[in-house]
Amino acid sequence: VSDPVSDALAQLLEETSSVSGGEVADYIPELANADPDDHGIALVSVLGRTYTAGDASTPFTIQSVSKAFVYALAVDEHGLEVVAERVGFEPSGESYNAISLEEDSGRPANPLINAGAIVTSALVPGDGPAAQRAAVEAGLSAFAGRDLAVNDEVFRSEVETGDRNRALAYLTKWSGALPGEVDDAIEVYVRQCSVMVTAEDLAIMGATLANGGRNPRTGEQVVGEEAAQAALSIMATCGMYDHSGEWMVRVGLPAKSGVGGGIVAAQPAQFGIGVYSPPLDEQGNSVRGVAGLEALSREFRLHLLAHPDEPRSPVESSRSDDDGHVVALRGEIDFIAAEQVVHELETLGADGLTIRLDLSAVTRIRPAAERLLAATAEDLAGSRCTVVADDPSGVVEQRRTARGGVLPTTTGSGR
């Protein structure tokens, strides 16, 4: 069965299948076996619906895409501040396996380069590497909503050829960033990179971050909102290695790539996307994956910082009736909508007038907007004008202003 979203994804694959260039990674010998023509994409909405095209269920190793999710697990376990003592936040401007330690603190620059990811893996809860390995596999599986397996050939292949990663781990141990032993951390890290996923898995994992840490398929709260937000933030600034700045300008979505050929991207509160195509560019990012996500972002205006259309007025009508004045609002009330309501109220605010805000067609009030409306009601009370909200569906959450007041309501007492 076709649907408009999958059709758009299929068309995108077709357009980008002609993009050539790049090399399949072979520095981990097992990776060289990947089929360079494999090409798949999947999108999962935060409501859990899935759309796919091409080789969306072909398995490959997650590699560095895992780093963002393991960072979320570590932050969820210890809190951001504890993790921040050992791993930094800044893009390194260097390749993924660079020796990037901050001079004064000895922290790796960020958790998405190998040095930082190895330290992050060592922060996963568990007594010893076997328990930590299990925790990582369980955590990644929870993000994907199914039991993910490890590719033992890739694991062994990378352990055998992983001297550079061991060297990075020794440096972080020497600088004090790495807790525990080098071999233990490497075992957990390499194991995590050898977990098998599909483009569809990556899309669900991305959707889980986009959904505040709750897997939209299983309903499981995998990590808290704060950890999901931290992971998305570091993906936005460091997710594509030395291509992260250009990526943010061209695509404008938090993302993470891996040398297996996978890329995950997410649009907060909307969806996650997974793309798979093994040939890599010089930075180690999938050539067709980058091209596809660039095209997708351009075509559907997905850039998070794109200028939205002019704010529409939330005021549906404003009229006098027997009891005073009714201002009917509609849609979602964010800051810029509330600002327009404040202007309307201040224009109306006269001695003794009662203004009713009809919220029956309001879908949601953002915290800042509610506080702004409540503070305006407080101000107008000073000139003996009463503002009261009719809130039949309970969108008002009774958030307090700086002076301690709440937006007065006649019906519905908040949720």
Residue 284 DSSP SS3:
coil
Rank residues 151 and 165 by Cβ distance to ligand GLN and give the closer one. Answer: 165
* Catalytic-labelled residue, pool 46, 75, 259, 395: 259
Number of continuous H segments (helices) and E segments (strands) in the chain = 14, 12
Using alpha carbons only, give the angle 343, 346, 352 rounded to the nearest 5 degrees.
155
Taking the complex as a whole, the smallest distance from the CB of residue 158 to ligand GLN amounts, in Å, to 6
| 64 forms part of the interface with ligand GLN (CB under 6 A) | yes
Confirm whether 64 is a catalytic residue: yes
Ranges within 279-298 binding ligand GLN (CB under 6 A): 284
Q: What number of chain residues touch ligand GLN (CB under 6 A)?
A: 11
Ranges within 115-154 binding ligand GLN (CB under 6 A): none
74 Cβ neighbours under 8 A, 6+ residues apart = 83, 111, 120, 123, 124
| 63 forms part of the interface with ligand GLN (CB under 6 A) | yes
Confirm whether 286 is a catalytic residue: no
DSSP per position, 291-320: HHHHHHHHHHT--TTSPPPPPPP-EEEEEE
Rank residues 17 and 283 by Cβ distance to ligand GLN and give the closer one. Answer: 283
Which of 213, 258, 272, 314: binder of ligand GLN (CB under 6 A)?
258
Amino acid symbol at 227: A
| 22 forms part of the interface with ligand GLN (CB under 6 A) | no
Rank residues 77 and 281 by Cβ distance to ligand GLN and give the closer one. Answer: 281
Beta strands in 235-372 (DSSP E): 255-257, 262-267, 271-276, 315-321, 324-333, 354-365
Give dist(CA 161, CA 238) in Å, integer: 25
CA-wise closest residue to 216 among 202, 204, 225, 201: 204
Which of 53, 171, 234, 259: binder of ligand GLN (CB under 6 A)?
259
* Catalytic-labelled residue, pool 44, 51, 67, 75: 67
| 155 forms part of the interface with ligand GLN (CB under 6 A) | no
Ranges within 186-215 binding ligand GLN (CB under 6 A): 193
Confirm whether 71 is a catalytic residue: no
| 30 forms part of the interface with ligand GLN (CB under 6 A) | no
* Catalytic-labelled residue, pool 51, 71, 96, 241: 241
Taking the complex as a whole, the smallest distance from the CB of residue 164 to ligand GLN amounts, in Å, to 7
Confirm whether 67 is a catalytic residue: yes
Query: Hey, what are 277's tokens?
Result: 């195509």
161 Cβ neighbours under 8 A, 6+ residues apart = 27, 28, 29
Taking the complex as a whole, the smallest distance from the CB of residue 163 to ligand GLN amounts, in Å, to 11
* Catalytic-labelled residue, pool 6, 45, 64, 286: 64
Give dist(CA 31, CA 34) in Å, integer: 6
Tally Cβ neighbours within 10 Å of residue 170.
13
Which of 96, 155, 247, 276: binder of ligand GLN (CB under 6 A)?
96
Rank residues 97 and 132 by Cβ distance to ligand GLN and give the closer one. Answer: 97
Query: Hey, what are 106's tokens?
Result: 């000895």
Residues in the chain: 415
Tell me which residues are annotated as active site: 64, 67, 189, 241, 259
Q: Where does this chain bind ligand GLN (CB under 6 A)?
A: 63-64, 96-97, 114, 158, 165, 193, 258-259, 284
